[in-house]
Amino acid sequence: MHLHSLHNFLFVFVIYLCSLPVNGWSIPSNNQQQPTVTRLNVFPNLGDLFTGGKLVPQSKLAYGDPLLERSEEQRTFAVQEKLFSWTGEDFDVYDEADNTPYVRVRGALLHLPGKDKMRIVRDDQIVATLDRKLIALKPTYDIYRGDCQEKIGWIEKAIISFTDTFDFYAECEKVGPFAASPAYKLEGDFLQRNFVMKNAQGETVAKVIEDRLIEFDRFDHYQLQVAAGMDPVLVIACACAIDEELEEEHEKKRKERKGE
C-alpha cells in the first residue's frame, strides 16, 4: 500500500475511533456501580468538516425537471473510468447502495465541431448529452436533455476566481443573451478529485471524493455524494466534464503513482 493510501486509511480509522462507545461508570443512589456507555463524539461532524460541509436536501432544481430523477434520499455513486476505451471518455457509474449500474457515459471518437459529445445512457436510452464548445474563450460544455433535445444549461471554467472554479448556468435563467448568476458552483481540488458543488445560496448539494484506499487501476474510481432532492445525472455530467477537461493532468498523475 502506498504512503498516500496509508494516510487515507489512518485518517478514516481515527474518525472511526472517535465514534466508538467506551465503558464508563455511574454511581446510582444505592451506591452500586453500574456500567454506562459514553460516546467519544468529540467531533460529530468531523467528516463533513473535511469534505466541504454537510449535504443539504433540495426542494427544487434551478433548471426545472431533472434529467432523469431527483434523489429521494442522500445517495453515493462510484464513477469508474473504463480501462479500455476507444474514446478515452468512457465512464461507468454505479449506485453504491446495492452496487448496481446506474448510468454509462460514452464519449465521441472524433473531436470535431458538432461531434465532440459525451452521452449519458440509462438502459440504452440517452438521458443527457454534453456538447463541448471547441471555439470558446474558456472551457465550456453545453448540457442537454436526451440526445440534444433541450439545452438546460452549461458548465464553464471561471476565469476570474481566487481558486479553481467551474460554474453551471441554467438556460432558463438567462436574461436575453446574458447569463444570470451561476446556479451552481463547483470548487475545490479538481486534480485530486476532491471538490464540492454548491447552489446559489451556498448550500452543499454534492461532493466528489477520490477513493484511494485501494491502489489498483481496475479499482480506480471516485465517489459522488448527492444530496436528497438533487439530480444525480447533472452532478455526474458536471463531474465528467471537469474530468475530461483535466484528462492530461490525471494521466500524468496516474503515471507518477505507477512510478512510486
- Residue pLDDT tens, the chain, 260 long: 454 444 555 544 544 444 444 443 333 444 444 433 333 444 445 556 566 789 999 999 999 999 999 999 999 999 988 765 555 578 999 999 998 999 999 987 555 555 579 999 999 999 999 999 887 788 899 999 999 999 999 999 988 766 789 999 999 998 877 778 999 999 998 888 899 999 999 999 999 998 655 444 445 678 999 999 999 999 999 999 998 888 766 666 666 666 65
- Is 3 part of a structural domain of the chain? no
Q: Are 19 and 41 in contact (CB under 8 A)?
A: yes
- Is 25 part of a structural domain of the chain? no
- CA proximity to 164, closest of 192, 179, 186, 146: 186
- Is 246 part of a structural domain of the chain? yes
Q: Are 108 and 89 in contact (CB under 8 A)?
A: yes
- Is 26 part of a structural domain of the chain? no
How many domains is the chain built from?
Answer: 1
- Is 83 part of a structural domain of the chain? yes
Q: Residue 67 maps to which CATH number?
A: 2.40.160.200
CA 121/CA 78 separation, integer angstroms: 16
- Is 37 part of a structural domain of the chain? no
- Is 183 part of a structural domain of the chain? yes
> What is the extent of the structural domain holding 93?
45-259
- Is 110 part of a structural domain of the chain? yes
